[in-house]
């Protein structure tokens, strides 16, 4: 089935846009490999070719995802994210190791990290919440994307009001992280959790505002009422 990867890459190359390729770089501090294709087009290509492989065993589809991840191209990683998420009804505990290896070995930018973790990993955690302990372990990784992943994997569950205790614990573990991408990640996690638990998140931010980096703090309180924002931002 490696031929399907060749076909996907052919279709991506056919839609390459040099101007968009250059402008995409402005969204990333680190250099990224990209074809320069609109996200809607990437999604359409991935969706079309998933029809060809959807009947394959999960292990084979994960193998194809692995090939896409290893290319380093952001568009190929997004297709890998979509294909893995399409299999969410068949996720089982042993899949976690595969997901962890992709994050630790292949993720190299915030867009791939967030797309994969928001959906595939987030759904897995909802299905198997005992793996929240593994997310907490990721907070101690030397890999910035693993640390960001520990937070952004809880974006969708957090928006639904789930896992508040664990969200606060992960925020605490990442509180003083020196990496801006990690700070933004856990700030975003706190922000979405505030949709359902505004008081709890405000109390956490207020109690830690002397230590919390301003980047994370601003993200966390972004959706709160003006009076709470002012109180949180007071020196």
Judged against a pLDDT cut of 70, whether residue 42 lies above it is answered with yes
Judged against a pLDDT cut of 90, whether residue 29 lies above it is answered with no
Judge contact between 187 and 218, C-beta under 8 A: yes
Judge contact between 131 and 159, C-beta under 8 A: no
Beta bridge partners, 33, equal 73
For residue 137, give both structure tokens. Answer: 């372990």
Read off the DSSP letter of residue 120.
Answer: I
Residues in Cβ contact with 200 at an 8 Å cutoff, skipping those fewer than 6 apart? 164, 168, 193
The per-type count for the chain, helices as H runs and strands as E runs, is 16, 0
- Sorting pLDDT into bands at 50, 70 and 90, what band is 20? confident
Mean pLDDT across the chain: 95
Percentage with pLDDT > 90 across the chain: 91
Q: Work out the average pLDDT over 138-157.
A: 98
Judged against a pLDDT cut of 70, whether residue 116 lies above it is answered with yes
Percentage with pLDDT > 70 across the chain: 99
Instruction: Give the 3-state secondary structure of residue 168.
Output: helix
Q: Work out the average pLDDT over 178-193.
A: 98
31 vs 68, which has greater pLDDT? 68
Residue-level pLDDT at 218: 96
pLDDT tens readout for residues 47-92: 999 999 999 999 999 999 999 999 999 999 999 999 999 999 999 9
The Cα 73–Cα 96 span in angstroms is 23
- Sorting pLDDT into bands at 50, 70 and 90, what band is 3? very high
Q: Work out the average pLDDT over 169-175.
A: 98
Q: Please work out, in degrees rounded to the nearest 5, the angle formed at the alpha carbon of residue 176 by the alpha carbons of 213 and 99.
A: 110
Q: Work out the average pLDDT over 27-45.
A: 90
- Sorting pLDDT into bands at 50, 70 and 90, what band is 1? low
Judged against a pLDDT cut of 80, whether residue 235 lies above it is answered with no
């Amino acid at each position: 089935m490696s031929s399907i990867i060749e076909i996907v890459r052919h279709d991506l190359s056919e839609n390459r846009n040099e101007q968009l390729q250059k402008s995409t770089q402005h969204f990333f501090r680190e250099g990224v490999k990209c074809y320069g294709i609109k996200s809607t087009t990437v999604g359409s290509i991935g969706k079309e070719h998933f029809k060809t492989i959807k009947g394959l065993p999960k292990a084979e589809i994960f193998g194809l995802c692995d090939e896409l991840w290893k290319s380093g191209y952001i568009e190929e990683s997004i297709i890998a994210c979509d294909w893995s998420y399409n299999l969410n009804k068949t996720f089982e505990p042993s899949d976690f190791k595969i997901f962890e290896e992709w994050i630790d070995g292949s993720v190299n930018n915030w867009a791939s990290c967030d797309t994969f973790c928001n959906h595939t990993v987030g759904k897995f955690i909802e299905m198997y919440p005992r793996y929240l302990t593994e997310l907490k372990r990721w907070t101690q990784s030397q890999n910035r994307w693993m640390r960001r992943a520990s937070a952004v994997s809880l974006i969708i569950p957090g928006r639904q009001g789930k896992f508040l205790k664990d969200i606060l614990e992960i925020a605490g573990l990442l509180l003083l992280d020196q990496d801006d991408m990690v700070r933004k990640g856990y700030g975003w996690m706190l922000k979405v959790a505030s949709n359902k638990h505004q008081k709890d998140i405000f109390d956490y931010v207020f109690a830690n505002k002397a230590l919390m980096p301003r980047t994370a703090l601003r993200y966390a309180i972004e959706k709160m009422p003006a009076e709470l924002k002012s109180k949180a931002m007071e020196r």
